[in-house]
Structure 1
Amino acid sequence: MAIAAGALREDEASMATRAAWLHYAGGLTQAEVAKRLGLTSLKAHRLIMKANQDGLVKVYIDGEVSECVALEQALCERFGLDYCEVVPEFDDADLPLRALGIAGAQFLKREIERGEEMLIGVGHGRTLAACVEYLPRMSANRTRFVSLLGGLTRKFSANPHDVIHRLADRVTGEAYVMPVPFFANTVEDRDVLFNQRGVSDVFHLAKSADLLFVGIGTTERKASLVSTGMIETSEIDDIRKSGAVGELLGHFFDDRGQPVETTLSNRTFTLGRDELRNRRTVAVAAGKGKTKAIRSVLESRYLSGLITDERTARLLTGAD
């Protein structure tokens, strides 16, 4: 039975490769690929998507987009960044997940392929989950991963946009999970859980991460924190009323980048603000609805790097 299952997987991988070759190299439409291989259009589409997700398709583009380079330089100068990547806009203006996912995946891939001993701390959310989806299956070499915050929610057994589990599945390497909620019910509950051996070990590991790979959240009702059941709508309303605009790893900031103390501040399972300073922290974020939040976190000076799209970069630099 195992042999048959393995053979089926090999056949599907072979068919996905053939479909991708016909589509990308041969220039056939997905409908033409389906006809050539005797498949339904839906099956051909799924095979081509599988080829992309498994890293069988690699696109190389020579040259730089001068407008994007100028925006990268402007963002670095304006917000004191050491690293910035601006990708051309071609995606949904509200949340360009495809553009961000591709750029974030390439960034992670480069970090892993350096082959140096490295511990990467990761956040969670839709954007980081998209980055992992576009990351090819590969060996992590000497790279390890650790969750930077709790991922259990009130509505689900685990955050549907949890990144550390997806990353562990995509990349062959060690990954450490923080098996606690993002926010505890009380400060006392947080202290009790933090003192548990497994939790404290992972937390201390997170504090030693060489790179923090994070997303940026808003304080709107449609924020990921609310949609995933981590906090209630009433809680995000209170946070917004307190002047908070952007969120980074459970910490909230106003439009000038100043920290905002909230009812959740002392109940968060994440690194403290002091532990986030002077770290190599790269955020992946873009979108019309997130621009204020991104600017807020950039103004806080907690970030050393940003991956965003051209449309958002123009808004952040005032070029639009």
Structure 2
Amino acid sequence: MATTRSKQRSSKLDLAARAAWLYYIADNTQEEIATKLDVSRQAAQRLVALAVSEKLIKFRLDHPLSDCIALAEALRDKFELSTCEVVPSSADGSRNGIAVSAAAHLETYLLAKTPTIVAFSSGKTLRAMVEQIPSMNQPQHKIVSIIGNMAHYGRAGRHEVVIHLSERTGAEAYPVPTPVIASSIKERKLLQTQQSFITIKSLVNQAKVTFVGIGDIGWNAPLHESGFINDQEITELMELGAVGEVAGWAYDQHGTLLKKGTNTRIAGVPLEQPVQRLTIGVAGGLHKKEALFAALRGKLINGLITDEAVAKSILQMALVN
């Protein structure tokens, strides 16, 4: 019975994909689609809608938006960025626009024939970016993590990037074999002497580009919500003046990495400050404006993909700081 339902669904998705291709690529009307697929006009309309809802097709806008371009140029000039993209803000707080823009940028590296190393942190927005990458076969590349993906007691994070992207692209995956934050400094030092960690650190240092999420620091912030740090640790970070984090590394309003708190036990790859390799921050939402502004001030990132509202807020903050 389950097999029959699976075959029926597959057949319907095949038909939806044909309808979407005829509509979006071949520029057919719904009446023409109905005739070619031998279905009613209403059925043709539903098939096209199904293709969209099942994400069988991806939308990319070729016409540049002048306001977003102006904001990106202003950010690039102000913070001496190597690259900057600004997308229209979403009224519902969706990350889709940022994810689509970041995926388009990432694809330029993944489609290269020359073997390339690309590094990543983790998080919801980066995971959404990966969801926008089409399936491909690029085994010549290496995809490397700069952050562990579990709490020190073993619970795995839900927004891992490297393994998921490897499955979509066929590239070799190199996840960091440690928790995000070790239970002690002694444990962190021991974990970082393992050959697997040394290999990954070497690959990260050779990466052509690194994509990182930017997290805010506060109650139920990404590190806290994911269980990587507990109530006491997030409270300590706030008392130390932390406003944001990159790959678990907390920093203050000036973008300076903290020398205390959980930073002493980060088991991932150390960050550069100021960053030397291309490192693109991928994040949006006004709740992250202080974290993004500080990361730019502290030169923890030299590339940015964000939304219009955040871009405007960062530029306003730059005028008074």
- TM-score normalised by the shorter chain: which range applies? 0.7 to 0.9
- Structure 1 residues 97-176: aligned runs within 5 Å: 97-140=95-138, 142-153=140-151, 157-176=155-174
Separation (CA, whole Å) in 1 of partners of 2:164 and 2:91: 23
Separation (CA, whole Å) in 2 of partners of 1:289 and 1:133: 23
Confirm or deny: 8 A CA contact 2:255 2:300 kept in the other structure. no
Deviates more, 1:68-77 or 1:165-174: 165-174
C-alpha RMSD of the superposition: 3.1
Residue of structure 2 equivalent to 1:249: 247
Task: Report the residue type matching 2:43 in the other structure.
Answer: R
Deviation at 1:269, TM superposition (A): 1.7
Deviation at 1:36, TM superposition (A): 1.0
Greater gyration radius: 2
Structure 1 gap segments, 5+ residues each? none
Q: Are the structure 2 counterparts of residues 44 and 156 from structure 1 closer, same or farther at C-alpha, using a change threshold of 3 Å?
A: farther
Residue of structure 1 equivalent to 2:35: none
1:188-216: CA deviation from partner (whole Å, max 9, x where unpaired): 11111222222332232223222111110
Task: Report the residue type matching 2:234 in the other structure.
Answer: I
Q: Secondary structure at the match of 1:139?
A: coil
Q: Are the structure 2 counterparts of residues 298 and 22 from structure 1 closer, same or farther at C-alpha, using a change threshold of 3 Å?
A: same
Separation (CA, whole Å) in 1 of partners of 2:12 and 2:200: 38
Deviation at 1:114, TM superposition (A): 3.2
What TM-score does the superposition give when structure 2 sets the normalisation length? 0.84
Separation (CA, whole Å) in 2 of partners of 1:34 and 1:156: 53
Q: Secondary structure at the match of 1:150?
A: coil
Q: Secondary structure at the match of 1:120?
A: strand
Separation (CA, whole Å) in 2 of partners of 1:115 and 1:8: 38
Count of residues paired in the alignment: 306
- Structure 1 residues 232-243: aligned runs within 5 Å: 232-243=230-241
Residue of structure 2 equivalent to 1:85: 85
Separation (CA, whole Å) in 2 of partners of 1:250 and 1:125: 11
Q: Secondary structure at the match of 1:220?
A: coil
Report percent identity of matched pairs.
Answer: 29
Task: Report the residue type matching 1:313 in the other structure.
Answer: A
Separation (CA, whole Å) in 2 of partners of 1:49 and 1:140: 28
Match of 1:221 among 198, 213, 219: 219
Separation (CA, whole Å) in 2 of partners of 1:273 and 1:162: 19
Match of 1:288 among 286, 289, 293: 286
Confirm or deny: 8 A CA contact 2:82 2:303 kept in the other structure. yes
Separation (CA, whole Å) in 1 of partners of 2:201 and 2:207: 10
* 2:54 pairs with 1:50: yes
Deviates more, 1:5-14 or 1:111-120: 5-14
Q: Secondary structure at the match of 2:314?
A: helix
Residue of structure 2 equivalent to 1:18: 18
1:154-192: CA deviation from partner (whole Å, max 9, x where unpaired): 576421011112111221211111121000000111111
Separation (CA, whole Å) in 2 of partners of 1:48 and 1:34: 17
Deviates more, 1:113-122 or 1:173-182: 113-122
Separation (CA, whole Å) in 2 of partners of 1:192 and 1:255: 31
Q: Secondary structure at the match of 1:264?
A: helix
Deviates more, 1:135-144 or 1:175-184: 135-144
Confirm or deny: 8 A CA contact 1:33 1:44 kept in the other structure. no
Confirm or deny: 8 A CA contact 2:272 2:300 kept in the other structure. no
Q: Are the structure 2 counterparts of residues 190 and 155 from structure 1 closer, same or farther at C-alpha, using a change threshold of 3 Å?
A: closer
